[in-house]
Amino acid sequence: MTVFSRAECCAIAIAEVFRGDGEVLVSPIGTLPMIGARLAKATFAPDLLMTDGVAPLVANVLPVSGDDRPEPVIEGWLPYRAVFDLLWSGRRHVMMGATQIDRYGNQNIACIGDYAQPKAQLLGMRGAPGNTINHPTSYWVPNHSAKVFVEQVDVVTGIGYDRAAALGPRASRFHEIRRVVSNLGVFDFETPDHRMRLASVHPGVTVEEVREQTGFELVVPEAVPETRAPTGDELRLLRDVIDPEGFGGREVVG
Amino acid sequence: MDKRTTLSEAVAELRDGMTVGIGGWGSRRKPMAIVREILRSPLRDLTIVSYGGPDVGLLCATGKARKVAYGFVSLDSIPLEPHFRAARQQGRIETFELDEGMFQWGLYAAATRLPFLPTRAGLGSDVMRVNPELRTVRSPYDDEEELVAMPALELDVAFIHMNRADIHGNGQFLGPDPYFDDLFCGAAKRRFMTCERLIRTEDLLAEGTIHTLKINRTMVDGVIETPNGAHFTECPPDYGRDEAFQREYAATAKDPDAWKRFVETYLSLESEEAYQQAVRSR
């Protein structure tokens, strides 16, 4: 059996989030999301559109180190204004981080504590409200704990299924939280009332461990599968092409 | 028309309590020479409207800003702007925190003289809770969809920084992204453009294609040549971000003595020239 790291397992789980998306803009925020999205594009999702992190759209698969080898093949130009146009059209799937997330997928990246005078000011709303109401959104949490997976988030930046449902079917028709990938497992919302469900645990992680590290009651099916292992070809791409320096391993806990 | 002016003349037009728009994005192509000129002035109680970077951090740290309208405040390579964080965590500033796209829509509404523009962005999120002044609007057509009515972000003055400009107020960006600088100008009553280099109108196509001429002279009232004027933010292709300087700036947020030294060394100087000299000689 091939030996692989937790970070490589997370990269596979993240890549799988984009399977079947077809020709959409993928905006992966964070190192492992970038690695996972590039792996998806290099393998089973070749039609994904991606920038180099700034405005140029890059056709080929580059290392996440920012190395200019191989030479980038520029296929287009997507300044921020065009990103907004595109995201409002719905042809996008974003993977954002979450300092807090709750059972319905409400995300907080704005601040912790009282809004008027927060204990910790974070990024701000960024594009989260617009992203979540307009196109599929997934989340990446490299440090799964009960401080991140909380009963209630302090500020709702990206909206979850309960908030979307309250808006009614018309306003929420483009809302979809596809999946949450953490350093412990993969989570989806495929339950009758869209509560977060444990979809798989990464190899070496127990269901009990995930429960203990989650601050709300997860939906846990009777049999929880393991996150799939990388193929030899995927490992070669990760190690030789996309992340030879191992940046992904520095982001993930465990 | 020759629209050349100076940093001090431009900032002299500001009054306490005005709403000031600042172009660029995060720690990218910010009109920092203007920000530094504001820091040298006695101005106070400003409302700052910005895709925020160190412009917001500096104006908060020095007590110039009373309120900030933003979608985020970030130094890019340092994700959280520490001086802005300190101001928020000490409850020193008011906020008008928006989704990034709502922010653009607000500028666009102001630039096109509309009271608001409808958008789906913000619905269901706490943007609506923390800004109770925001309203929704119902589509007058058969769909009757309810949308956020993003109000116009009207500015008293806007400041932007371009790579090249002529004396008439035509401006050129040579980097990868024009950001929303044209909308900042459109949303403002008075508009000032700093630039890395003033060139002849005949030379505007020497370094970039026609598509890089994003700012035309109807959008600008005053032009100021400020070489290295976006420092320490990036201004490609002229220069990248001064990461060492940015780290030094960021570190001062948690160390009052270091902040005092930073102010004395770089911000309490009599002019932009003196600042640039201090940066060169460090």
pLDDT tens by residue, A61-119: 999 988 777 899 999 999 999 999 999 999 999 999 999 999 999 999 999 999 999 99
Q: Is residue A121 part of a domain?
A: yes
In three-state secondary structure terms, A228 is coil
Amino acid residing at B168: H
Task: Determine the distance in angstroms separating the CA of B123 from the nearest CA of chain A, rounded to an integer.
Answer: 7
Q: How many residues does chain B have?
A: 282
Question: Which DSSP symbol is given to A225?
Answer: P
Mean pLDDT confidence for B90-97: 98
Using an 8 Å CB-CB cutoff, list chain A residues near B104.
Answer: 81, 84
Question: Which DSSP symbol is given to B239?
Answer: B
Q: Is residue A1 part of a domain?
A: no
Q: Is residue A52 part of a domain?
A: yes
Domain count, chain A: 1
* CB-CB under 8 Å, A119 with B145: no
Contact criterion met (CB below 8 Å) for A164 and B122: no
Using an 8 Å CB-CB cutoff, list chain A residues near B96.
Answer: none
* CB-CB under 8 Å, B176 with A111: no
* CB-CB under 8 Å, A123 with B124: no
Residue B208: Cβ-neighbour burial (10 angstroms; 0-12, 13-18, 19+): middle
Contact status of B67 with chain A (Cβ, < 8 Å)? no
- Portion 125-164 of A in contact with B at CB < 8 A: 125-130, 132-134, 155-159, 163-164
Using an 8 Å CB-CB cutoff, list chain A residues near B72.
Answer: 123-126
Mutate to test the interface with B, among A106, A125, A161 (most CBs of B within 10 A): A125
> Is the interface score ipTM higher than 0.90?
yes
Topology (CATH level 3) of domain B7-98+154-274? Glutaconate Coenzyme A-transferase (3.40.1080)
The verdict on pTM exceeding 0.90 is yes
pLDDT tens per residue, range A115-155: 999 999 999 999 999 999 999 999 999 999 999 999 999 99
**A32: nearest Cα among A173, A254, A242:** A242
pLDDT tens per residue, range A189-246: 999 999 999 999 999 999 999 999 999 999 999 999 999 999 999 999 999 999 999 9
Tell me the C-alpha distance between A101 and B153, whole Å. Answer: 31
Mutate to test the interface with B, among A121, A159, A163, A175 (most CBs of B within 10 A): A121
Residue A72: Cβ-neighbour burial (10 angstroms; 0-12, 13-18, 19+): middle
Using an 8 Å CB-CB cutoff, list chain A residues near B89.
Answer: 117-121
Domain ranges for chain B, please list them.
Answer: 7-98+154-274, 117-151
Q: What domain range includes position A233?
A: 6-251
**Cα–Cα distances in angstroms (integers) from residue B252 to residues A87, A177, B4, B31, B61, in the given order:** 37, 39, 35, 21, 10
Non-local CB neighbours of A192 within 8 Å, separated by 6+ positions: none
Q: Is residue A16 part of a domain?
A: yes
CATH classification at residue A125: 3.40.1080.10
Contact criterion met (CB below 8 Å) for A219 and A197: yes
Tell me the C-alpha distance between A37 and B221, whole Å. Answer: 45
Tell me the C-alpha distance between B48 and B247, whole Å. Answer: 23
In three-state secondary structure terms, A51 is strand
Q: Is residue A156 part of a domain?
A: yes
Tell me the C-alpha distance between B5 and B2, whole Å. Answer: 9
**Among A124, A159, A171, whose Cβ lies nearest the Cβ of B71?**
A124
The answer to whether residue A183 scores a pLDDT higher than 80 is yes
